[in-house]
Amino acid sequence: MKKLLLLLVGALFFASYAFSQSLTVCGNSVDLSAEVENYTDFSWFCDDAAGVFSDANSLNTTFTLTTPYNEQGYMVASFYYNATVGGDVVSDTVHVEFLERPVVNAGPDFTVCGLDFHLNAISSHTEGDNITGLWTCLGTGTATFDDATSAYTTGYYSGYGSATFRWTESNHPHINTESDVACSDYDDAIITFYEVPSAALSMNVADTVACGLSFEFLRAENPEGGMSGYWYEENPSTQFGMGGMGIFNPITDVTVSSYGRHDFYWIVYAGPEENPRLCVDTAGPWTINFVRQPIAEISTSAGTFVAPDAHVLFYNTTDYQDMENVVCEWHFGDGTSEDNCGESVEHVYAEADCYEPYLVVMSSNAPQCSSTARLENCVSVTTGIADFNVADIEISPNPATNFLNITSGEVISDVEIVNVMGQVVLQMDVNADNAVCDVNGLANGVYVVRIHTDGTVVSQQKFIKE
């Protein structure tokens, strides 16, 4: 009695005199083993495939196939031995299918923004073969594949971070065998999932106006989850924060180099060290209109202005450079006003008083960027009371705030202070060659001081109370 064995993946197969086996191996070599007792001669043979026996005269041998696989990735060969036992020749046969081991490439490792992925393996499959493939996920999350059996597929992963995706290919037998053998191989691709940033501005950015070339309140939402952000404006000379270091701060100030409209964007990004801006989201634009802050300047003509027909000429010396749609509002202090951006404007005062006119200069599209100019002293309009000084009398200071000093070369009998309406608002007896009048309680304006000597007015002079 004899026995034929094929060693395959730890299994031992037996054959009797008249029984032929069909077996499958993965790769191009097979271990053959026969059990023959009391033989005088023994040899292994393979007539339909080229190859090499490690020892064709040994019961236990290894055959290595040198014939190429066919286009479908397999090769079938028949092996038999002849043994001489007691003068008789005994023989047995086994059919072996050699399966080509798949060459698997799952593709490179890569990163994605979000949780959707695209896989593209290089498959060994050709038409007519028995090679199948399957994607599996070895990550801690759950992967959903559109088609897990396709080398190229798409899907969705359940969480951020890294996950391993394995592409496995199996070459299945073409002949009926006694073993359930498939020749398989696999390769892994690691996908790192990064969260898609969500950039947002934290203020209502509509119709923002900045007076001057700086704006102090650029504000965006602080990025979370280890993400970073930065401000962008197309002009490279724009400076965010002190020394430009505020460009990465969600709350910062900005200085531009020119007036007009500028668009600002807050950009949030995430990604690996070698590609930190793999995932990007942009908020904006935040359009800010930088308007030149004017510096209003005015002056007035010199002279004596007497009511009821006091013509006063005012001069506007404001610099309007880089300003658009300029508006100039004159307020004359008597309840009237006029829009006039000319170099000068004339106003007629009908009543005597000390008027405090002022000029407001602004841009009509940015009224908050305005400037106001006032005269150093009020405009004094009198009733026609003339100054005269027949004696050597001096008053100081003029204008006066708290006290008015009067000095004379003669004895002053009394002093009167009269407002522009001709009303005596202060009277004091002196009987000395000097006097100090307390004018702190008087309202600001123009007054006349009358000085009497022996009951006669010897001096009448105007002064301003501030």
What domains, with CATH codes, occur in the chain?
2-99 (2.60.40.3010), 110-173+182-194 (2.60.40.10), 208-291 (2.60.40), 298-380 (2.60.40.10), 386-465 (2.60.40.1220)
Residue closest to 450 by CA, chosen among 385, 384, 380: 385
- Residue 186: its H or E element: strand 183-194
Query: What pLDDT is recorded for position 13?
Result: 32
Q: Starting from the edge strand earliest in sequence, which strands make up the sheet with 208-211, in order?
A: 208-211, 279-291, 260-270, 228-232
Neighbours of 194 (CB within 10 A): 22
| Rounded-to-integer distance, Cα 198 and Cα 205, Å | 18
Distance CA 103, CA 124 (A): 6
The whole-number pLDDT of residue 87 equals 86
**DSSP codes, 368-426:** EEEEEEE-SS-EEEESSPPPEE-SSEEEE-SSBSSEEEEEEEEEEEEEEEEETTS-EEE
Any idea what DSSP says for residue 264?
E
Q: Helix, strand, or coil here: 9?
A: coil
pLDDT at 384: 61
- Which amino acid, residue 175? I
Tokens of 253: 């100030």
With CA atoms as reference, report the closest residue to 136 among 111, 109, 166.
Answer: 166
Question: What is the pLDDT at residue 388?
Answer: 57
Beta strand pairing call for 298-300 and 29-36: unpaired
Spell out the per-residue pLDDT of the chain, length 466, in tens: 233 333 333 223 333 333 357 788 888 999 999 989 899 999 999 988 899 999 999 999 999 999 888 887 888 899 999 999 988 999 999 988 898 888 899 999 999 999 999 999 998 777 767 888 999 999 789 999 999 999 999 999 999 999 999 999 988 887 766 566 788 899 999 999 999 999 999 876 666 889 889 998 899 998 887 789 999 999 989 999 887 788 999 999 999 999 889 999 999 999 888 888 889 999 989 999 998 888 899 988 766 677 777 888 899 988 877 777 889 999 999 999 999 988 889 999 888 788 899 999 988 878 888 899 998 888 878 776 555 565 678 889 989 999 999 888 888 889 999 887 778 889 988 888 888 999 999 988 888 888 888 777 778 888 888 8
3-state secondary structure of 129: coil
3-state DSSP assignment of residue 259: coil
Q: How far is the CA of 74 from the CAs of 5, 101, 280, in angstroms?
A: 22, 9, 50
